[in-house]
Amino acid sequence: MTRHPTDTPQFYLTAPSPCPYLEGQQERKVFTHLVGSRAQALNDVLTQGGFRRSQNIAYRPACEACKACVSVRVRVDDFHWTRSFRRQWRRNADLIGTASTPAPSAQQYDLFRRYLDARHAEGGMSDMTVLDYAMMIEDTHVETMLIEYRRRGPDTFLTGSGEGPLLGVALTDLLSDGLSMVYSYFEPNAPSRSLGTHLILDHIERARALALPYVYLGYWVNGSPKMDYKARFQPQEHLGPDGWHPAN
């Protein structure tokens, strides 16, 4: 059995592989393991330093010839609610997100597969099995939560939970200074709801309620249309060589 040190993290570098966002580019990643009693504190520090979490791995790009991936976080207190955001928020007023300890379900996986098949059929996650999905949700040593989004029902005021079909899911880490959206997916057959936007707006409001200053959105990739949506959430900060700074 391979044992990983829990006190002093060791970092590793992956071999080059085709970039999933920019055609013709090669990507490399530096990564370490998030295990043991210090995993939560390490996840805090690494996320603030531009890393992302996947299961019990923290990683960040380490590409030699490209710097297109930029870590992005939204400033919660100053967030600008545009007219478009307000319309989308009102459109989804019938939805409620219920947070719980991460646990996979068949209903989640069914929605996950529909989302991948519709949005990312050629992506690296397209061949994930039920077991792979369960590991993505459960395999963690840090404080995280799973938020399920469903329509409000007649008993919601009593239970605090939505009812009916599952429309969206977010796996979210709780940090000392914010919420980090690890992975989210949603019903692809409800385009009028703009569910991807709604999940981010909901996280901004959750962070505000918790008095947390940031929502971490992962990487914005300059030149990748898939990542353009992240630039809509302003004001935001980008991580550069000299630390976090307001995005222009």
Instruction: Verify that 225 and 201 share a domain, yes or no.
Output: yes
Residue 100, in any domain of the structure: yes
The residues, ordered by sequence, that sit 6+ positions from 165 with a Cβ below 8 Å of its Cβ are 150, 151, 187
Residue 7, in any domain of the structure: no
- At residue 63, the pLDDT reads 93
Instruction: Verify that 151 and 202 share a domain, yes or no.
Output: yes
DSSP code of residue 16: P
Residue 198 has pLDDT above 60, yes or no: yes
Strand partners, 98: 148
Average pLDDT, the chain: 92
- At residue 157, the pLDDT reads 72
Average pLDDT over residues 124-148: 92
50-101 tens-digit pLDDT: 999 999 999 999 998 899 999 999 999 999 999 999 999 999 999 999 999 9
Instruction: Verify that 22 and 135 share a domain, yes or no.
Output: no
- At residue 102, the pLDDT reads 96
Residue 50, in any domain of the structure: yes
Instruction: Verify that 64 and 77 share a domain, yes or no.
Output: no
Average pLDDT over residues 228-241: 95
Instruction: Verify that 78 and 58 share a domain, yes or no.
Output: no
Select from 25, 48, 69 the last residue of a domain: 69
Average pLDDT over residues 182-190: 96
Residue 87, in any domain of the structure: yes
Instruction: Verify that 91 and 204 share a domain, yes or no.
Output: yes
What pTM does this model have? 0.92
10-60 tens-digit pLDDT: 999 999 999 888 988 999 999 999 999 899 999 999 999 999 999 999 999
Instruction: Verify that 193 and 103 share a domain, yes or no.
Output: yes
Instruction: Verify that 129 and 238 share a domain, yes or no.
Output: yes
Rg of the chain on CA atoms, in Å: 18
- Provide the domain limits for residue 65: 12-69
Instruction: Verify that 192 and 158 share a domain, yes or no.
Output: yes
- At residue 7, the pLDDT reads 61
| 3-class DSSP assignment, residue 115 | helix
